[in-house]
Structure 1
């Protein structure tokens, strides 16, 4: 997905085109390399043992159409630098939107003052910043180069398509969003890397009204691509699927209650593994003792055949990155292999303390935040069973097409997730839709209780992962799979 080159930092230049002509989009460099070098030296002169500069320029825009009217049109830009300095086990952090040489130097000295009160003085030995490894995403058309009228037209097309699907559709909300995030990361170990991240998404939510009350349906698509997202994804088709989902749920019966076999549709349950298992494999939580997977490398923690991966290189998925927010290349990290826990995810700070190599999982919400260990695209890999055979081999149970939000305790793995679309399985056949209910269980136990893995892997909808007050874009997915027993919190007697 990404091509990396080493070169002197000049302008960020992305080749883009639209339906009429090609255009070259040029942006000014975030921070001059001489200023980067001087800022890092100022941090070390002020007493730091290691220093890092993180520069960010973020642009975003969104539109919301509700009840046939454009209710929101938002855009914004945020630009600044964060300076991190360490001295022993202490970390100091300061951020600023003043990108002048003086502003950067002041931030560097402030961060160093937090890390240590004993300036070393004298000569500082560091690797001078001479060039930058820059990665460019393959973006055909920058969304910002497309006029607002074309974006509104997509929203209206989705609204029309949803309402024409069925007379029961009483409300439609369509959303469009775009973002471009350019970053530069440099530190006193010689890392100097840049990335240009573009994301585009579209979402349609529908409400259907009937004798059984109100039911909802939603479809969302989003990738690390530009306006070409709509070459492969028609907003009208998304709207029709969302509307049909809402209408189908009007005939839903109460979900069963109690422990039942559960089949989770491909891509529809990746959030369960992200929340209930993935967070427990982040090295910062492991070191705090806040993970059920702590000190279990080499142990069987999942059923044979289950492999769990976090992969930041998985373009063009929502969590794809060329580098993490510490300047390290992302990579494919196999966390559980054939049921055996093999490794955790690492950022620079935790890997330094453990004598490890960063795994490309140091991420932050913005330049105002410190990085921490975060997932990128987290998923269960393919099995070898035809998904139709999994259904046919389930005499009775629940088929979950989509999971919604939920809660999880990372220390124990206990979770509760909402089932936003589910069906009853009877005699090996998917039958009636079920009203929304909860799926209750324990992440590590789910891993052990997977007894069938399909061969139809798919990623799910784009998501935002929250942790310690920070949100970052992530992806998740899995093939169709069956868990031999999960508790369904339904209302059926």
Structure 2
């Protein structure tokens, strides 16, 4: 068997579990009937604060530490997790998982574990080293800045969050790898009140970095943008209804491709027959020029990881190339079943969860057209600056997404703001209807992707692009 090696770096958290104990735990799983076993150890710390109505409404911190043990025997998987990190506690969990897998035991040799280095935390300054008063000061600054934009701003909610997640993954194939993940986030939401009712604006910034986030992102400027968005929307007119050309601003619509296309390219859904893209590798599934990528190595983006939650190095996975479906995303279990390597997309919410196929940073790559030319070449349509949440049926690709900021395009010019409405369509149909792709790629806001009750941090993005025809569910006659 191929032996995976760990990656090394600085800011090591120290061993979450002694490697002798890891080795003994895995061997206990095999002795109890497993054919393959994996240990996932996690130490997670978080701090959050919410500033609302001129004061700190909430300040919280937490820490969770534990181990999950997965054992397979044939096609059966057993899983057990525990917060008892003693040798006996882990052995008991290993035997429980093996019993669920219902193997017969004693016949499988274990490959010696590889290295145990830890990937460097991608930080210059750990947020935990910064005092609470400085974090609250940023929240207060954002509140003041938002309220200074216009007297129509009646509510400001600012949020700060930091998290550090240290993991160790080892399995009986000899893999032993660790990672130290630090993320920092700041968000401002504003409500403006006027004759047309209430309107909202939001700005969020978050990266897999430390306190240095604020060296390049000013909370006051973030707040002013959120407030200005809310005030602008007070003059919004009803959105049109029906099928119209839609131009999606750079970074503002990545969530559409994440939801409407990305989930359908996850190998577990594909193999269940729950994806509209099942069995279509090599086929033209999008317009020429459309390339869709999932990349867990993408700098400091929100979905970036050194290793996935099965210990495999993340990588750049081209899913659609120039309109042709080239591959799916894979975790270990699905890739094992078809005799290929995993793609670094095995992820889990915590040690209490089994891993599954998940996205990291998913995006449409750059085209060659100046974004101003795309708008100028659109006689009439809708310009979507920011999409909100939505729903998608992965089996059919049908979706509904909210437009949280949109404008009318008239005679090739962006004109009036539109009230919030919906985009309604089908993922594969949208891919086929993209007829212009800009050269101004940007990632969007950080997100949390939910699937089967688990949430993980993800990023998404795209350049400015135009969909030839997309249904807008507005209220205009």
Question: Which range, TM-score by smaller chain?
Answer: over 0.9
**CA contact 2:192–2:234 (8 Å) conserved in 1:** yes
Structure 1's 264 and 97: CA in aligned 2 closer, same or farther, altered over 3 A?
same
Greater shift, 27-36 or 70-79, is seen at 27-36
In the alignment, does 2:328 pair up with 1:307? no
Provide the residue aligned with 2:236 in structure 1.
252
In the alignment, does 2:376 pair up with 1:405? no
In the alignment, does 2:332 pair up with 1:348? yes
Q: Which runs of 5+ in 2 are unaligned?
A: none
Deviations 1:436-464 (A, max 9, x none): 00000000000000000000000000000
Q: SS of the residue aligned with 1:114?
A: helix
Provide the residue aligned with 1:235 in structure 2.
219
Provide the residue aligned with 1:121 in structure 2.
106
Q: Distance in 1 between matches of 2:285 and 2:117?
A: 38
**CA contact 2:368–2:437 (8 Å) conserved in 1:** yes
**CA contact 1:57–1:77 (8 Å) conserved in 2:** yes
CA deviation after TM superposition for structure 1 residue 125, in Å: 1.2
**CA contact 1:33–1:130 (8 Å) conserved in 2:** no
CA deviation after TM superposition for structure 1 residue 119, in Å: 2.9
Structure 1's 32 and 307: CA in aligned 2 closer, same or farther, altered over 3 A?
same
Deviant stretches of 4+, over 3 Å: 4-7
Q: Distance in 2 between matches of 1:127 and 1:29?
A: 20
Q: Which runs of 5+ in 1 are unaligned?
A: 15-25
Q: Distance in 1 between matches of 2:306 and 2:113?
A: 20
CA deviation after TM superposition for structure 1 residue 412, in Å: 0.4
Give the aligned length.
Answer: 473
Q: SS of the residue aligned with 1:83?
A: strand
In the alignment, does 2:113 pair up with 1:165? no
CA deviation after TM superposition for structure 1 residue 6, in Å: 5.1
Q: Which of residues 432, 443, 457 is equivalent to 2:416?
A: 432
Q: Distance in 1 between matches of 2:213 and 2:382?
A: 33
**Match runs of 1:301-380 below 5 Å:** 301-380=285-364
**Match runs of 1:71-110 below 5 Å:** 71-110=57-96
Provide the residue aligned with 1:66 in structure 2.
52
**Match runs of 1:131-210 below 5 Å:** 131-210=115-194
**CA contact 2:450–2:456 (8 Å) conserved in 1:** yes
**Match runs of 1:3-82 below 5 Å:** 14=11, 27-82=13-68
Q: Distance in 2 between matches of 1:248 and 1:318?
A: 29
CA deviation after TM superposition for structure 1 residue 127, in Å: 1.2
Q: Distance in 1 between matches of 2:122 and 2:361?
A: 18
Q: Distance in 1 between matches of 2:386 and 2:463?
A: 13
TM-score (norm 1): 0.95
**CA contact 2:236–2:417 (8 Å) conserved in 1:** yes
CA deviation after TM superposition for structure 1 residue 315, in Å: 1.6
Q: Distance in 2 between matches of 1:364 and 1:192?
A: 17
Q: Distance in 2 between matches of 1:249 and 1:415?
A: 25
**CA contact 2:142–2:220 (8 Å) conserved in 1:** yes
Q: SS of the residue aligned with 1:259?
A: strand
CA deviation after TM superposition for structure 1 residue 356, in Å: 1.1
CA deviation after TM superposition for structure 1 residue 120, in Å: 2.3
Q: SS of the residue aligned with 2:168?
A: strand
**CA contact 1:422–1:435 (8 Å) conserved in 2:** yes
Structure 1's 416 and 188: CA in aligned 2 closer, same or farther, altered over 3 A?
same
CA deviation after TM superposition for structure 1 residue 135, in Å: 1.0
Provide the residue aligned with 2:468 in structure 1.
484
CA deviation after TM superposition for structure 1 residue 28, in Å: 4.0
Q: SS of the residue aligned with 1:156?
A: helix
Q: SS of the residue aligned with 2:161?
A: strand
Q: Distance in 1 between matches of 2:476 and 2:369?
A: 31
**CA contact 1:63–1:70 (8 Å) conserved in 2:** yes
**CA contact 1:183–1:194 (8 Å) conserved in 2:** yes
Q: Distance in 2 between matches of 1:233 and 1:306?
A: 31
**CA contact 2:32–2:98 (8 Å) conserved in 1:** yes
**CA contact 1:208–1:247 (8 Å) conserved in 2:** yes
CA deviation after TM superposition for structure 1 residue 268, in Å: 0.1
CA deviation after TM superposition for structure 1 residue 27, in Å: 4.0
**CA contact 2:6–2:115 (8 Å) conserved in 1:** no
TM-score (norm 2): 0.98
Q: Distance in 1 between matches of 2:350 and 2:13?
A: 19
Q: Distance in 2 between matches of 1:184 and 1:444?
A: 38
Q: Distance in 2 between matches of 1:48 and 1:120?
A: 6
Q: SS of the residue aligned with 2:156?
A: strand
In the alignment, does 2:262 pair up with 1:278? yes
**CA contact 1:36–1:129 (8 Å) conserved in 2:** no
CA deviation after TM superposition for structure 1 residue 322, in Å: 0.2
In the alignment, does 2:444 pair up with 1:460? yes
**CA contact 2:114–2:174 (8 Å) conserved in 1:** no
